[in-house]
Amino acid sequence: MAWLGWVGGCGALLLFYVMTLWCMWMLADVYEVKGRRHSRYKDAVASILGPRAAVVLSVLQHATMLLVTLGYHIAGAESLAYIAGQACQMMGKPQDSCMDTYWVMAVIFGAMQMLTSQLPNLEAAWWTSLIGAAMSFGYSAVAIALGASQASQHQGSVAGHPGSPSEKAFGIFNALGALGASYSCAIVLIEIEDTLREPPKASVSMKKAVNLGISITFVVYSAVSVLGYMALGDSVPGNILLGFRGSPGWVTLLGNLMVLIHMVSAYQVLAQPLFASIEDILLRCCPSLANVREWLVRAVYRCLYVAVIGVLAVALPFFSSIVGLIGAISYWPTAVLFPMLMYRAMHQPRGAVLWLMHATNGLMGAVALMAVVGAVLSIAEGAAGMKPFQGSGNVHG
Kindly report the average pLDDT of the chain as a whole number: 83
Asked whether residue 214 carries a pLDDT value surpassing 50, the answer given is: yes
Q: What is the pLDDT of residue 159?
A: 84
CATH number at residue 283: 1.10.4160
* 389 part of a folded domain: no
Q: Is 397 part of any domain?
A: no
395 part of a folded domain = no
Task: Please check the confidence at residue 14 and state whether its pLDDT lies above 70.
Answer: yes
How much is the CA Rg of the chain, to the nearest whole Å?
Answer: 21
SS3 per-residue string spanning the chain: CCCCHHHHHHHHHHHHHHHHHHHHHHHHHCCEECCEECCCHHHHHHHHHCHHHHHHHHHHHHHHHHHHHHHHHHHHHHHHHHHHHHHHHHCCCCHHHCCCCHHHHHHHHHHHHHHHCCCCCCHHHHHHHHHHHHHHHHHHHHHHHHHHHHHHHCCCCCCCCCCCHHHHHHHHHHHHHHHHHHCCCHHHHHHHHCCCCCCCCHHHHHHHHHHHHHHHHHHHHHHHHHHHHHHHHHHCCCCHHHCCCCCCHHHHHHHHHHHHHHHHHHHHHHHHHHHHHHHHHHHHHCHHHHHCCHHHHHHHHHHHHHHHHHHHHHHCCCHHHHHHHHHHHHHHHHHHHHHHHHHHHHHCCCCHHHHHHHHHHHHHHHHHHHHHHHHHHHHHHHHHCCCCCCCCCCCCC
Residue 395 has pLDDT above 70, yes or no: no
Residue 327 located in a structural domain? yes
Sign of CA dihedral 339, 342, 343, 348: positive
pLDDT of 384 strictly over 90: no
Model confidence at 57, pLDDT cuts 50, 70, 90, reads confident
For 215-236, what is each residue's pLDDT tens digit? 998 999 899 999 999 998 888 8
∠ CA 86-91-95 to the nearest 5 degrees? 60
pLDDT band for 183, please (50, 70, 90 cuts): confident
Question: Is the Cβ–Cβ distance between 229 and 143 less than 8 Å?
Answer: no
Number of domains present in the structure of the chain: 1
If you average pLDDT over residues 299-327, what whole number do you get? 82
**pLDDT of 62-92, one tens digit each?**
888 888 888 888 888 888 888 887 777 777 6
**323-350 pLDDT, tens digit each:** 777 777 778 888 889 999 998 888 888 8
Answer whether residue 144 is part of any domain.
Answer: yes
Residue 333 to residue 354: CA distance in whole angstroms: 18
Q: What is the per-residue pLDDT for 307?
A: 92
Instruction: Decide if pLDDT at 163 tops 60.
Output: yes
Whether residue 319 has pLDDT greater than 60: yes
Q: Greater confidence, 258 or 269?
A: 258
Query: Residue 393: is its pLDDT beyond 60?
Result: no
Instruction: Judge whether 19 lies within some domain.
Output: yes
Does residue 25 have a pLDDT over 80? yes
- For residue 100, the model assigns a pLDDT of 65
Check residue 385 and give its pLDDT.
62
Cβ contacts of 42 within 8 Å, gap of 6 or more: 54, 57, 58, 61
Give mean pLDDT, residues 116-129: 76
Is the pLDDT at 313 greater than 60, yes or no? Answer: yes
Q: Would 238 be classed as within a structural domain?
A: yes
Give the structural domain span for 309: 5-384
The pTM of the full predicted model, rounded to 2 decimals, is 0.76
The reported pLDDT for the residue numbered 103 is 82
Residue 391 forms part of a structural domain: no
Please say if the pLDDT value at position 123 is more than 80. Answer: no
Q: What pLDDT band is residue 13 in, cutting at 50, 70 and 90?
A: very high
Question: What pLDDT, on a 0 to 100 scale, did the predictor assign at position 368?
Answer: 84
- Return the pLDDT at 95: 62
- Predicted confidence (pLDDT) at residue 392 exceeds the cutoff of 50: no
Residue 119 phi/psi, 5-degree rounding, is -60, 135
Residue 229: what pLDDT? Answer: 92
Number of CB atoms found within 10 A of residue 387's CB:
7
Tell me how crowded residue 200 is: count the other CB atoms within 10 A of its CB.
10
